Amino acid sequence: MITHSPRPRTLLKWLTPGIGVKRWVGILLVGASLLGSALALLVVEFYRAHPPLLWSHLLQLARVPLWLLGLVAGIAGTACVLLATLRINQAILRPLAVKGPHIIDAMVEHQRGQRGPKIAAIGGGTGMPTLLRGLKAYTANLTAIVTVADDGGSSGRLRRDLGVLPPGDFRNNIAALARDEGLMAQLFQYRFGEGGLEGHSFGNLFITALSAVTGSFEQALIESSRVLLIRGQVLPSTLANVTLMADWREVEADVTRRVAGESAIPEVAGAIQRVFLQPEDVPAYPEAVKAILAADLIVLGPGSLFTSLLPNLLVPGIAEAVRSSSALKVYVCNVATQRGETENFTVADHVRVIEQHVGKGLFDVVLVNNAFPPLAPGSNFQYVELGDGGKNGVELNFRIYPAPLVDERRPWRHDSERLAQAVIQLLDESGRQPLD
């Protein structure tokens, strides 16, 4: 096998500030110098006590200056130290080798991520993974705070049969935060198509099994995150077993009805008046509250307004933590309307619903899409536009920040890179300094 020497740019990366290499190389050299000096003193002392006549005669005959001998010894010693250090590290790391970037690239990436802003993202569904995929390029200090109200599909079946918190949204966000969304992430997202496991995803079963093995859902999330080497952490908004309830207005009968269950809410034929948790007064997960209070930036959305975003804010401790935080608070409004939840909604309608449920002034900025590619004939959605009160934000009690955010291949969703870039731009423009 032919090996190639490191490229000059790769070698220069070892000089990147903050990756924790240069200082230890310096300490290693100082230590080697001290050790060499100690040995030299011992040799000198031994020479004085027992002069080796043979070596003295040889040096005199060769007429070799002592400074040259010292230089040669120094070069040889340095080469030995560097070679030995390299080989020792290779021997230690070889059993742990994984397919991935060059080790120095990984070190630089890790250091940059650790220096990134602390971001707490609140939501669920398919919207939050889109945000996280973009943000993980800017920071590893990411916390995804996820709803536990899901009761449909594989998550709902596991929740009903085994009494665990619904793992689906957690699985999606863990996979999105994976350092490399390769084979392991694909395995985590694999869904069985037939047999007794039909409809279940491997990740849901994995998290559920880990919950039983470790004795807690929280520990299962931690261990799952380690398996996929994620950049950040994924936390529940509460550990309580909650049911999402909705009051909705049946237009034809002109009456208000109530429906139970997150999966049933989008199926109602009418306008949703309000959603709430049953039981209502549930404790927030302490680590989620801690992450919100420590954040430099808090992002709500994107995601289903009534079934992914509000269930988190309806946990009293979560909304209180957001309100108490000194972070920049951004609400990411959806690109498109959603059948059964936000049909014909504008940005103003989205904001008014949030205010009706948790009060005004919770967020500083509304990030909205201002790019509207032509829709294919027969599309079952429409773009979300500003609407009344949206142009200046006065009626909304928010600052409006427009940006092109749409994924042109899937115009009902955000583009991960564009969304993350806009969010980081907002943080930069706010001038907020990272918290210690």
Structural domains counted in the chain = 2
Is there a single domain that holds both residue 314 and residue 394? Answer: yes
> What does the pLDDT average to over 329-333?
97
Per the listing, tokens 């290693």 go with 28
Is there a single domain that holds both residue 297 and residue 378? Answer: yes
Whether 269 has a pLDDT exceeding 80, the answer reads no
The amino acid that residue 290 corresponds to is: K
Is there a single domain that holds both residue 344 and residue 405? Answer: yes
Q: Per the domain annotation, does 136 fall within a domain? A: yes
Q: What is the CATH number of the domain that holds 131?
A: 3.40.50.10680
Q: Per the domain annotation, does 140 fall within a domain? A: yes
Evaluate whether 246 touches 152 at the Cβ level (below 8 Å): no
Q: Per the domain annotation, does 305 fall within a domain? A: yes
Q: What angle do CA 230, 235, 240 make, to 5 degrees?
A: 155
The model's pLDDT over 228-260, given as tens digits with 9 standing for 90+, comes to: 888 899 999 999 999 999 998 876 667 888 999
3-state DSSP assignment of residue 17: coil
**Cα separation values, 405 from 2, 332, 416, Å:** 46, 10, 8
Q: Please, which pLDDT band fits residue 373 given cuts at 50, 70 and 90?
A: very high
Domain range for 362:
111-148+275-430
**CA pair distance 243, 149, nearest whole angstrom:** 6
Greater pLDDT, 37 or 138? 138
Is there a single domain that holds both residue 279 and residue 379? Answer: yes
Is there a single domain that holds both residue 32 and residue 139? Answer: no
Is there a single domain that holds both residue 128 and residue 36? Answer: no
Q: Per the domain annotation, does 385 fall within a domain? A: yes
Q: Per the domain annotation, does 213 fall within a domain? A: no
The model's pLDDT over 159-177, given as tens digits with 9 standing for 90+, comes to: 999 989 999 999 999 999 9
pLDDT at 422: 97
Whether 356 has a pLDDT exceeding 80, the answer reads yes
| Strand ordering across the sheet containing 233-236 | 233-236, 142-146, 119-123, 297-300, 328-332, 365-369, 399-403
Is there a single domain that holds both residue 424 and residue 336? Answer: yes
Whole-model pTM? 0.78
How crowded is the C-beta side of 176, counted as CA atoms within 13 Å? 26
Task: Look up residue 95 and give its two tokens.
Answer: 């059993």
> What does the pLDDT average to over 340-366?
93
Is there a single domain that holds both residue 68 and residue 121? Answer: no
